Structure formats: C-alpha cells, structure tokens
C-alpha cells in the first residue's frame, strides 16, 4: 500500500489532494511522535487533512519532511513534479528503506541534516 508521511508540512492539504488522486494514503506526523520508529509511524498512519493552522504558520521556518512509503517510482516522480511545480516548500524528502525504518523521526532528521551538509560541502569545492 502506497503511503506518504508528512511532518511539519504547511501545505499538507495540497499534497494530500494530489496524492489522493493517485489513491495514495497520506498521514501526518505530530511533533510528539519524534521518538517513534519510522516503520511504526508508517503502519499507524494518521489520516488528517488539517488546514495550515496559525501554529503551523509560526512553525513555517522549521524543518519539514515528506517520507515516501512503498510509493511507485512513477507516482513518486509525479508527486515530486507537482510539489516543485506548485512551489511547496519541504526541507527534506525521503524514501522509507529497511535501514531507516528502524530509526526514529528524530534520527531521520539528524541524518537528513548530515546528508544535506555533506552535499553542500562537496558542491562548495
């Protein structure tokens, strides 16, 4: 089953709409879920089509993440195109793997920061 997890994404209702047209379930990860394993979050998906709240607007400067779980390459390409086309700001995009499925959301964010730093460092040379 194709699923997408959204963390701190202000435009989550727009992504949910795009994904639902492809019959992909979307769910949100709450801030209090940061210490849960990614695989548990993916299996216990919270379907929520919440509008960007004022609290979320205040957190808009915070990091956001989208995690693709068992999403086909065709659907992933289409979703990424739509996200870019609509200028939806998402700090990190990831794919659920056997390795990162055993990480907590906090660990996943840490790893994504490391990878971004390394990418920027390598491209500064």
- pLDDT tens across 32-74, in order? 898 999 999 998 876 554 444 444 444 556 899 999 999 999 9
Rounded to an integer, the average pLDDT of 98-117 is 95
Residue 123 has pLDDT above 80, yes or no: yes
Reading the block at residue 13, the tokens are 């209702």
Mean pLDDT for the chain overall: 87
Task: Specify the pTM.
Answer: 0.84
Structural domain spans, the chain: 3-123
State how far the Cα of 42 lies from the Cα of 2, in Å rounded to an integer.
Answer: 10
Candidate from 7-11, 58-62, 114-118 with smallest mean pLDDT: 58-62
């Amino acid at each position: 089953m194709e699923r997408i997890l959204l963390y701190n994404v202000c435009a989550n209702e727009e992504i949910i709409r795009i994904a639902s047209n492809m019959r992909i379930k979307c769910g949100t990860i709450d801030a209090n879920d940061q210490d849960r394993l990614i695989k548990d979050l993916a299996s216990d998906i919270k379907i929520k089509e919440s509008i960007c709240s004022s609290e979320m607007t205040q957190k808009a400067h915070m990091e956001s993440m989208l995690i693709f779980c068992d999403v086909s390459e065709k659907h992933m390409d289409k979703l990424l195109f739509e996200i870019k086309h609509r200028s939806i700001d998402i700090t990190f995009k990831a794919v659920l793997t056997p390795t990162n499925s055993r990480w907590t959301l906090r660990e996943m964010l840490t790893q994504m920061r490391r990878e971004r730093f390394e990418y920027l460092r390598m491209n500064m040379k």
